[in-house]
Amino acid sequence: MSYVLAKSKDDDILSAGECGGAITSILKYLLDEKLVDGIFALRPFDDIYDAMPVFITDSEDLISTAGSYHCAPTMIGDIIERFIDDDTKIAVTVKPCDMRAMHELVIRHRINDDNVYFIGLNCGGTVSPVSGRKMIDLFYEADPNDVVSEEIDKGKFIIELADGGEEAVKIHDLEAEGYGRRNNCQRCDVKIPRMADIACGNWGAEDGWTFIEINSEKGQKLVDGAKKVGILETKTPNDAAVEGRSKVENIMIKMAKKNQDATYPLVSEMDEWSRCIGCYACRDICPVCWCFENCELNKSYFKDGTNMPPSPIAFQGVRLSHMSFSCCDCGQCEDVCPMDIPVSLIFDKLQKKYYERTGYVAGVSEDIKPPLYSPEKTEL
């Protein structure tokens, strides 16, 4: 592992980028040098709350993807797993939970990591797009429609308005009132995606620069290559910057563990599961669940010979026993549950129990493998 501070030498990318525009520059290098066929990143559509995944094949289009979208808890791994074949070379921007899900899919031979550049973003947390709008309406003297950009800095959620004004509220104050980061983000203790080839962030970075942690040989080649073609400049961060970054990461992890201690005892699986209507939404949105055609939950013995969904206990119990050890706590199952079951809190709590017994951290551990059989793609 090594560290660099990096900054784009392209003025348009530098001004559009969240920090130093290093990621957009590296992605441009990959496309221009034909090292990849395409890039998965995010692009805002109607407004800043609805950034969605896009597949970019022309580097001219990359500028529209630059920036950090905190109200986009989007996951890209399952899109790659379903729609990108093993021979297509791609790069993808990933926050930690997205990287963890993809790592789980790599272990299951569903993503060929030889052909993927993982470009990691450190992540202090995402905000739900719906509650994000509501929160701006309630806590900021602003119309959510007038917000042109948002950022999270020094513990504050900051919005910039169309008239140039800026407003900031402490995330702690928003969360005390039930707003701010999504529940799963508040308890997430993986803030830097070290499984990615590079992990980029603003922690430890000077203004206008991106702090990059280089985690693989591939990552080193990316930075060196982008420098060589003249789109990126780099310098070595000083010890204080490296220490400062590590300090903030540790504070964030401590806060997450405090949240885990406070929230895990609040859920009792059986009480929550009794509300399950077997709609399959949690299974279908899970970025790690992949064997839909062969899914146990489609089998008749779980449906008592009828076409009805499995009973609540069978449905949730099967999912839990198949997936909880691999849960990357992205929170999407909870977002889509029509019965407000805290699915991801339950799964994450079980993942942590599994970790205590085996040392396995979903989507992070390399030496220990998850327990379920992972067939080669061709065997299915």
Q: Interface with ligand FAD by CB under 6 A: which residues?
A: 17-24, 41-42, 65-70, 72, 74, 93, 95, 121-124, 126, 152, 200-203, 210
Residue 123 beta carbon to ligand FAD: minimum distance, rounded to whole angstroms: 4
Q: What is the DSSP letter of 327?
A: -
Beta-carbon count within 10 A of 89 CB = 16
Residue 373 beta carbon to ligand FAD: minimum distance, rounded to whole angstroms: 30
Closer of 253 and 320 to ligand FAD (Cβ):
253
Compute the half-sphere exposure of residue 31: CA atoms within 13 Å on the CB side of its CA: 20
One-letter amino acid at 264 equals Y
**Backbone phi, then psi, for 168, in 5-degree steps?**
-135, 140
Bridge partners (DSSP) of residue 211 are: 5, 201
Closer of 65 and 326 to ligand FAD (Cβ):
65
Residue 307 beta carbon to ligand FAD: minimum distance, rounded to whole angstroms: 38
Q: Please, what is the Cα angle at 247 between 246 and 252, to 5 degrees?
A: 95
- Going across the sheet that includes 52-56, the strands are 52-56, 38-43, 90-94, 116-121, 198-201, 210-214, 2-8, 232-235
Residue 265 beta carbon to ligand FAD: minimum distance, rounded to whole angstroms: 27
CB distance 193 to 96 below 8 Å: yes
Residue 365 beta carbon to ligand FAD: minimum distance, rounded to whole angstroms: 23
CB distance 17 to 24 below 8 Å: yes
Find the residue with minimal CB distance to ligand FAD.
201
Report how far residue 242's alpha carbon sits from residue 213's, in angstroms, rounded to the nearest whole number.
10
Closer of 111 and 276 to ligand FAD (Cβ):
111
Q: What is the DSSP letter of 65?
A: G
Could you report how far apart the first and last alpha carbons of the chain are, in Å? 37
- Secondary structure class of 2 (helix, strand, coil): strand
Closer of 95 and 108 to ligand FAD (Cβ):
95
Residue 297 beta carbon to ligand FAD: minimum distance, rounded to whole angstroms: 29
Q: Which of 9, 14, 29, 1 is nearest to 226 (CA)?
A: 29
Closer of 95 and 322 to ligand FAD (Cβ):
95
Q: Please, what is the Cα angle at 125 between 124 and 129, to 5 degrees?
A: 150
Closer of 201 and 287 to ligand FAD (Cβ):
201
Closer of 72 and 169 to ligand FAD (Cβ):
72
Residue 295 beta carbon to ligand FAD: minimum distance, rounded to whole angstroms: 27
Residue 22 beta carbon to ligand FAD: minimum distance, rounded to whole angstroms: 4
List of residues 6+ apart from 246 with CB closer than 8 A: none
Output helix, strand, coil percentages for the chain, rounded to the nearest 5: 45, 15, 40
Residue 294 beta carbon to ligand FAD: minimum distance, rounded to whole angstroms: 30
CB distance 348 to 187 below 8 Å: yes
Which stretch of DSSP H or E encloses residue 198? strand 198-201
